[in-house]
Structure 1
Amino acid sequence: MTSALVVTTYNWPEALSIQLKSIERLTKLPDQVIIADDGSGKETLEVIEQFKSKSDLNVKHVWHEDRGFRRSAILNKAIAQCDADYIIQSDGDCILHHSFVDDHLRHSAANTYLHGSRVNIQKELADKILESQQYNLNVFSQGIKKRMRALHLPVLSTMNKAEQFLSKKIRGCNLSYWRKDFLNVNGYNEDIEGWGKEDSELILRMLNSGVSGKRLKFAAIVFHLWHKEQDKSGVEANIRLEEKTRNENISWIENGVAKYL
């Protein structure tokens, strides 16, 4: 089984830089790192090129023009350029626990997607990390919220079983699935633009197609850097699209990844 770590980013090179440092510390490396860039400028490109120059990893930078929040489209484009069997997703404003990839791969199972925990780093600590470009995060760190989520206990992480319902805990910054299951529902719905619901709508279609979901607790941890909230002015339209998927039991959408394959 081959794996790809797909990281989304948009014009926050300081955060992406610290996330890339966390990738270097992983106990198990993915076969490929794909940076899905939703239209960032040259500062982000410089961070990526510097990382590529000193890393032995297979790193690919997939970029498109900045025309607003088009996370669905850039993820489709990135995954279309990937040939790995298994996709692990995170966001460029997250720091990965050193076992992040290992945990996702250890728990991977046929016909199943996984979603893990997000530990929020509060503003003061986030500012210090971004300024110093250094971090040492664990359950005892001052400046994190809901610290129980930072507990890494592999023995307990096997407790949850696969389920056939949409969890409210789905976060695109900590998600993994088989690429074939992604392609089977035509990937992300590009009718969803602006912040919100692109990940849960995708997962809902996977569920409708017969894939089950499993929550990873005490494993596959990401630490999320504080930032101002995104503009949520378009979320109502995205909610309606998700409701349509639920009410009509939709598994395949037309405006998806197929056009890039």
Structure 2
Amino acid sequence: MQQADPKISIIVSTYNSEAWLEKVLWGFECQTFKDFEVVIADDGSGPKTKALLEAMEKNVTYPIIHVWQEDDGFQKSRILNKAVLACNSSYIIMTDGDCIPREDFVEVHYINKEPGYFISGGYYMLPMNISQAITRKDIEEQKCFNINWLKEMGIPKTFKNNKLTARGFISTLFNTFTPTNASWNGHNSSGWKKDILNVNGFDERMQYGGQDRELGERLFNFGIKSKQLRYSAVCVHLDHKRGYRTPESIEKNKGIRRETKINKQVWTHYGITK
């Protein structure tokens, strides 16, 4: 039996995407570090997701907590705040229900966690044909992280392939010199629950577009630093349509982020505590 309080809570956001979520959950079953729980932040999925989670619970070794809210359009910030409160660990990894974690994903976050920091990881984007082709066996054998297997499936040769091949010193080197800043990314980041609560979680006015970055900006304003691990904490991102992406929501969110930056805001009045 696992202890009541796991060392890590992993929040996985989802919405009516059972085929992808199932692959992600098998990815977590393959982890080298085992002491964690998975909290599903479900933004209003139908009964198929609930049925999948009930079936998966019988087949995986980690506990699954299903946090659900009624479908009210894209309200990811709201469900993530509910999921944060449901976490039983003092340290939280956040990822999405379309990101399959490599077997060392949780371990990398766990060994690199540090008071006063959050971690920013990376992802490797897969095209739709490969996203669909990946089987449970491919995940168990870690083939979907093997660049040779992906090349056989038709992945082109690019610098981004280093995300999958870099290990040890090389990955540390790339982490240090990557031009991307270490922001809070919804698909692959981790931090202390108390820090997230201290800035009042996600701003629930924000729909699609940058609500994760805005949380990170308030953490920075609060004095939390970030660590770049995009070449070490690795997941593959399955392809999907983004019907909820609208110019209006992007514009509105840019305005909220501008305000956060200019006023060096730490707290949102539209977060966990209303």
Query: Is the TM value for this pair above 0.5?
Result: yes
SS in 2 for 1:21: helix
What does residue 68 of structure 2 align with? 63
Task: Tell me how far apart the structure 2 counterparts of residues 97 and 144 of structure 1 sit (CA, whole Å).
Answer: 18
Task: Tell me how far apart the structure 2 counterparts of residues 74 and 17 of structure 1 sit (CA, whole Å).
Answer: 20
Matches within 5 A, 1:29-108: 29-108=34-113
Question: In the alignment, residue 76 of structure 1 is paired with which amino acid?
Answer: N
Deviation at 1:252, TM superposition (A): 0.4
What do residues 196-231 of structure 1 show as CA deviations (whole Å, max 9, x unaligned)? 111000000000000001110431101000112343
Matched, 1:221 2:234: yes
Task: Tell me how far apart the structure 2 counterparts of residues 169 and 211 of structure 1 sit (CA, whole Å).
Answer: 11
User: Under a length normalisation based on structure 2, what TM-score does the superposition of the two structures give?
Assistant: 0.86
SS in 1 for 2:58: helix
Task: Tell me how far apart the structure 2 counterparts of residues 230 and 111 of structure 1 sit (CA, whole Å).
Answer: 36
Provide the aligned length of Structure 1 versus Structure 2.
Answer: 252
What does residue 125 of structure 1 align with? 130
Matched, 1:239 2:254: yes
Question: In the alignment, residue 45 of structure 1 is paired with which amino acid?
Answer: K
Question: In the alignment, residue 113 of structure 2 is paired with which amino acid?
Answer: S
What does residue 252 of structure 1 align with? 267
SS in 2 for 1:14: helix
Change (3 A) 1:169 1:257: closer
The 8 Å contact of residues 152 and 221 in structure 1, kept in 2 or not, is answered as no
What do residues 35-66 of structure 1 show as CA deviations (whole Å, max 9, x unaligned)? 11000011111111111122231210000001
SS in 2 for 1:34: strand
What does residue 199 of structure 1 align with? 212
The 8 Å contact of residues 184 and 252 in structure 1, kept in 2 or not, is answered as yes
Deviation at 1:169, TM superposition (A): 5.8
Task: Tell me how far apart the structure 1 counterparts of residues 73 and 35 of structure 2 sit (CA, whole Å).
Answer: 30
Please, which of 194, 217, 231 is the counterpart of residue 180 of structure 1?
194
What do residues 112-147 of structure 1 show as CA deviations (whole Å, max 9, x unaligned)? 001111101112211212xx4442222221244621
Change (3 A) 1:226 1:177: same
SS in 2 for 1:54: coil
Gaps in structure 1 of 5+ consecutive residues: none
Identity %: 33
The 8 Å contact of residues 86 and 178 in structure 1, kept in 2 or not, is answered as yes
Matches within 5 A, 1:139-150: 139-140=147-148, 141-142=150-151, 143-144=154-155, 146-150=160-164
- Give the structure with the larger helix fraction: 2
User: Under a length normalisation based on structure 1, what TM-score does the superposition of the two structures give?
Assistant: 0.90
Deviation at 1:29, TM superposition (A): 2.1
Change (3 A) 1:255 1:117: same
Task: Tell me how far apart the structure 2 counterparts of residues 168 and 237 of structure 1 sit (CA, whole Å).
Answer: 23
What do residues 86-115 of structure 1 show as CA deviations (whole Å, max 9, x unaligned)? 101110011110000000111111100011
Larger mean Cα displacement after TM superposition, 225-234 or 112-121: 225-234
SS in 2 for 1:199: helix
Please, which of 109, 112, 118 is the counterpart of residue 117 of structure 2?
112
Larger mean Cα displacement after TM superposition, 101-110 or 229-238: 229-238
Task: Tell me how far apart the structure 2 counterparts of residues 204 and 228 of structure 1 sit (CA, whole Å).
Answer: 27
